[in-house]
Chain A
Amino acid sequence: MPDVQSTVVEFVNKLRKRKIEGSQATAKCTVELLRSVISHQRVPHANQAAALIDAVKAVGEQLVAANPVELAVGNVVRRVLHIIREEDLSLTTAAMGGLDLLDASDDDDVDNCKGIGYPAMSAAVVAAAARSTLRPPSLQTLLEGTPESATVPYTSSSGADSESKSKSADKSSLTRKLKHDVIEGVNQLIHEIAGCHEQIAEQAIEHIHQNEVILTLGSSRTVLEFMCAAKEKKRSFRVFVAEGAPRYQGHLLAKELVARGLQTTVITDSAVFAMISRVNMVIIGAHAVMANGGVIGPVGVNMAALAAQKHAVPFVVLAGSHKLCPLYPHNPEVLLNELRSPSELLDFGEFSDCLDFGAGSGSIQVVNPTFDYVPPNLVSLFITDTGGHNPSYMYRLIADYYSADDLVM
């Protein structure tokens, strides 16, 4: 336990000092940390899921507080919580389902992790119960659910809970089972986060055609892989990269693209509007995707999105599923943003000669935000590892990954 605590503290410090760059790296670290938290967590016999959830939540709160702007942390914590809840439920239903619970639940948790749904191995009542506890009511349940079947699941599920408690008290194998399943699920999540680039890049060929001109902004590994995947499939196209002052991430991206043999042109950020009329598509890697379909991306993205809208250029956002945030943004330009050091814009002391704080001289403020918010109406398409989606669909996609109980942490 103490070693877990120390790694948590270490990670929190890293987050605070913004030592970890990029939402993917952060997400990865977070999942790994949570996995060790779970594996070190002692599980009581009764109500083990709740114990796990509490432990994960406690750590998660610390992490989120350390860097509230890095939404990937919160997303991953919620994902893990969701996994715990689902595993718990599947075990419960399996326990209810019958004697051959071990085999069935094995099948179950594989399915659950993919978020596909439940096999109809037990009664429809169970499926309905699962939906009612984990997800917002879908149209299907609303239509299909007859009064009695709608009421039955509730009673049965609450009954199932107590039942499972009593059962788990008996069976120590079940306790180990839950923890094992959860860790299994978390491992799958790690795998998914690590593989999201490939998943997204696989779709590149469907979106990039020959002789296309693509504009991108900022440095995103997802975007890099996406373009390289198209390049590998013998598509030839050219890329305009906005340099992304003052961090010049665009230079970094340009370097990588050139190394992979792509025709690359670096432009200044101010030339985005001038060039967008000759661009076929804007591809951006998101920092986070909000539930309303809004995007938080590198600074300057909103400008590019507006210009793209003006010239009817598709604005495509690539986002791994760990970037999907279940929160709705309020004033995201300010609240989900971070101001970086002014020294990136003005050298320290450069203006000291004209700033005497006595009489008659003005003051300087330097604004250097990190992120930009793009409202959903400017986004044409999201490409996630599950495929392409409309901005208006994002809330539904996100509902698959998170349980409603965890939205507020």
Chain B
Amino acid sequence: MESRRNPRAVVDPKVRQVGFFTSSQPDSSSTQQQPDPIAAASASSSSTISPSGNSLSPVMIPPPLHNSSDTFPLRAAAAGAAASAVSPSSFSYSSRRDFPDGSTTASPGRHSRGSFVKSSVPVASSLPGIGMGSMAAAKSSSVPASGLTTVSVVTMPPGLSEKASGMEVQSDQKKPLKEKTTKAERRAIQEAQRAAKAAAKADGGKVPPVTSASVASTSVKAAKPAKATSQKNDVTVAAGAAEKKGGPSEKDRKKDAPHPRMQYDDESRVVKAKRRAVVKQTEAKNRVELFRHLPQYEHGTQLPDLETKFFQLDPMHPAVYKVGLQYLSGDISGGNARCIAMLQAFQEVVKDYSTPPEKSLNRDMTAKISSYVSFLIECRPLSISMGNAIRFVKNRIAKLPITLSESEAKAALQSDIERFINDKIIGADTVIVKHAVTKIRDGDVLLTYGSPTAVEMVLLHAHELRKKFRVLVVDSRPKLEGQLLLRRLIKRGINCTYTHINAISYIMHEVTKVFLGASSVLSNGTVYSRVGTACVAMVANAFRVPVLVCCEAYKFHERVQLDSICSNELGDPNAISKVHGREDINYLDGLTNNANLQFLNLMYDATPSDYISMIITDYGMVPPTSVPVIVREYQKEHLLV
């Protein structure tokens, strides 16, 4: 609380000047940590996350407390280690950058660093020349920040190679030196530099074993420039944020606005799309009027068509082809599984890629990926999480330095994708589990709907922790995914109750918490998820039961949606008319082609944010109102990792 109150003084211009003098303070605080061998690792790791963590200024998002320490063990060592080389400087940027933004920033920033929390305050207070240490820390502040950022913007653009990045680090750290610095600070900075070097060395040692799997030690170089660019981008973003009305950021924002989706009731575009299509699809004739804008095809016509075409589709990479077929047949479902399968296919693609003559790798590969993506869309409409992952991949390709050789670029890309899978999906899940488990108490009755992977992990973990609870698995037709979840939970020895969604108000009385998964969280707080989630959340809300949504942050999207109709996915209508395993229910046999009768098999629905108590994500537990903040502040990071 104190830290929260103090920075408010920043608004006062006089005090700001004070801050000017202690500009390098954040540096020192970070470096103070470095000498400690264990802390060094965590510090550097946390710093990879902190840029964003710190820039959360406008809203106090619950800090990703264990973030660094949690994700780290899980990631490939390479990812973290490579990051750590540059981290001190990037860290200092970010921390400085956010202070001018105002009062609350200081505290979340500090907390987010986890291990720093304790150390940074004492350091600040020990600074000579400034009366109130913590105030000074908070005020280290605006003027240097803007100065710094502009400097960095200037220096960055050319610097794409490793050298340049090193230069940046140095120049950035010298900048504050030119301002009045105390002895202590100077020493701190020296230490920081030393630590940075040490970390860099450590990387040199660590990275090869992992990346060498595909490419030799060149990959170290390959990885580092990537980092440099990412860092650079962070800084430019920061600059944009600091200057607020900066031209480039406005443009960026416009560019970032999501493309309008394909509307399938727009005939000319549909015709165009069909011409391009790989898969011949017969559109379903008997469709629901409200959903003309969504694609709906005769089910079962695509698969044989694709199979016969296997040898004719030479531009298609077999890995992509396989994934596409798996989507089509429904072998792979669930946001994370689909996303990982796609990314792994892309990894294969990158591995087998060779640049055609007279073409640049960046452009050609982007085009290739785009064509693969449109093939995947034909197999099944993309989930939002996949869209985000594709954006990430394309962005990485576009940002590949031209100086890189082909093999280097490929290795860099592969490791980037690998890192996305490990950090953003697998790592994020473990962090979510850690957070969510704290919400489960002995004697709880937890309700879940469908078969969300994140929630399943939470439940299993809580069970491993010997918490005593009961799970209500609510299921719905036609997929009956809940039965799969039920099976897995029971095998692990969890007591379960199984019911269907209609009975939800009957069982809601005994429920203490509702855990739901999500396909995506949109920036108006709407949770876009398996159809029926909204019903469950609504009834839970009516019975005053808290609803917790577990969702990885890479699934967040800046799109907004109010209803479940404007964008959705249509499943196989025949799945509704036929009740699997119940031969006695055959009322609708032979009526499927009746013009008066349609079947609507919606796949998703949009849960309004007022039904949701909390979203558990890898950045902590946030209310749905904080989603746009996360989307805005973390989006850049998603793209660049």
Interface residues of A (CB under 8 A from B): 238, 240, 243-246, 248, 251-252, 254-255, 257-258, 261-275, 277-278, 299-300, 302-303, 306-307, 310, 333-334, 337, 344-347, 350-351, 354-355, 360-369, 372-373
Residues on A with beta carbons closer than 8 Å to the beta carbon of B462: none
The tally of CB-CB contacts under 8 A between chains A and B is 195
Contact B535 A266 (CB under 8 A): no
Interface of A is mostly: mixed
18 A-B contact pairs sorted by A residue (CB < 8 Å): A245-B501, A246-B500, A255-B591, A258-B596, A262-B596, A267-B602, A268-B478, A271-B531, A273-B535, A274-B605, A275-B565, A275-B600, A278-B565, A303-B505, A306-B542, A367-B506, A369-B503, A369-B506
Interface residues of B (CB under 8 A from A): 288-290, 475-478, 483, 486-487, 489-507, 509, 530-532, 534-535, 538-539, 542, 563-565, 568, 576-577, 579, 581-582, 585, 587-588, 591, 594, 596-602, 605-606, 608
Residues on A with beta carbons closer than 8 Å to the beta carbon of B505: 302-303, 306, 333, 372-373
In the bound complex, CA of A255 to CA of B585 (Å)? 12
Closest to A261 in B: B596
Contact B535 A258 (CB under 8 A): no
In the bound complex, CA of A106 to CA of B414 (Å)? 96
Contact A364 B587 (CB under 8 A): no
Closest to A263 in B: B596
* Residue of B530, B535, B542, B581 with highest tally of chain A CB at under 10 A: B535
Residues on A with beta carbons closer than 8 Å to the beta carbon of B576: 243, 266-268
Q: Beyond A303-B505, A310-B538, is A363–B495 a contact (Cβ under 8 Å)?
A: yes
Contact A366 B497 (CB under 8 A): yes
Residues on A with beta carbons closer than 8 Å to the beta carbon of B475: 345
State which of B288, B498, B564, B599 has its C-beta within 8 Å of the C-beta of A346. B498
Residues on A with beta carbons closer than 8 Å to the beta carbon of B492: 362
Contact B491 A361 (CB under 8 A): yes
The smallest C-beta distance from B567 to any residue of chain A, in angstroms, reads 12
Contact B476 A270 (CB under 8 A): yes
In the bound complex, CA of A368 to CA of B506 (Å)? 9
Q: Beyond A243-B477, A333-B509, A372-B502, is A268–B601 a contact (Cβ under 8 Å)?
A: yes
The smallest C-beta distance from A159 to any residue of chain B, in angstroms, reads 53
Residues on B with beta carbons closer than 8 Å to the beta carbon of A267: 576, 599-600, 602
Contact B587 A269 (CB under 8 A): no
State which of B486, B542, B582 has its C-beta within 8 Å of the C-beta of A248. B582
Q: Beyond A363-B496, A367-B507, A369-B506, is A255–B501 a contact (Cβ under 8 Å)?
A: no
In the bound complex, CA of A89 to CA of B583 (Å)? 56
State which of A252, A333, A365 has its C-beta within 8 Å of the C-beta of B498. A365
Closest to B604 in A: A274
The smallest C-beta distance from B298 to any residue of chain A, in angstroms, reads 18
Contact B596 A271 (CB under 8 A): no
**Known A261-B596, A269-B502, A274-B602; further 15 A-B contacts with Cβ < 8 A:** A251-B588, A254-B587, A265-B600, A267-B576, A270-B605, A273-B605, A274-B564, A303-B505, A334-B506, A346-B483, A363-B490, A365-B497, A365-B498, A367-B503, A368-B500
Contact B605 A354 (CB under 8 A): no
Residues on A with beta carbons closer than 8 Å to the beta carbon of B497: 364-367
Contact A273 B538 (CB under 8 A): yes
Residues on B with beta carbons closer than 8 Å to the beta carbon of A361: 490-491, 493
Q: Beyond A251-B588, A264-B598, A268-B476, is A299–B490 a contact (Cβ under 8 Å)?
A: no
